[in-house]
Homo-oligomer: A and B are copies of this chain.
Amino acid sequence: MSQGEPGIELDTSLGYMLKAAASALHSALEAVLRPLGMTITHYSCLELLAQRPGLSNSELARGAFVTRQSMNVLLQALERQGLVVRPAQAPVGRALPTELTALGRRQIKMASAAVRRVEQDMLANLNAGEQDQMRRLLAACIASLTEPPASAT
């Protein structure tokens, strides 16, 4: 663990730890969602719609961190299953505002509770101040990665 070595120091690399944490969260979420017959993206889509009804396919894709093509496939499946509805024609532009059905709302309710439990597990050993700090730090990382073009003023 000296520093003269080439490459990144895995055990202390924040990039690696971030990936490790995301992976652990991913696995934990999969574990609780599988019994409900849902995948993580499936859940993400429904959760987004529960909180922001009327989102379009592209907006959902950005919110769930997948391409709009992937989200489109998922939405078509969810539509077939009667969990969401989309108008046949766009009220404006091409965007089709999506809404949850009653069935969809029932599904997301169960899933959301399970996901909340996982998140609480994850934060079990962090007090409120530490959680705030973590929000700050993650937000800073996201910002730095997202808008690095905003340099060289």
- The complex is assembled from copies of this chain, and their number is 2
A109 interfacial by beta-carbon distance below 8 Å: yes
| Neighbour of A48 across the interface among B6, B10, B143, CB < 8 A | B10
Q: Which residues of B contact A153 (CB under 8 A)?
A: none
> What separation, in Å, do the CA atoms of A124 and B121 have in the docked complex?
30
A138 interfacial by beta-carbon distance below 8 Å: yes
> What separation, in Å, do the CA atoms of A51 and B42 have in the docked complex?
37
A8 interfacial by beta-carbon distance below 8 Å: yes
Q: Which residues of B contact A144 (CB under 8 A)?
A: 121-125
Residue of B nearest to A124 (CB): B144
> What separation, in Å, do the CA atoms of A5 and B138 have in the docked complex?
24
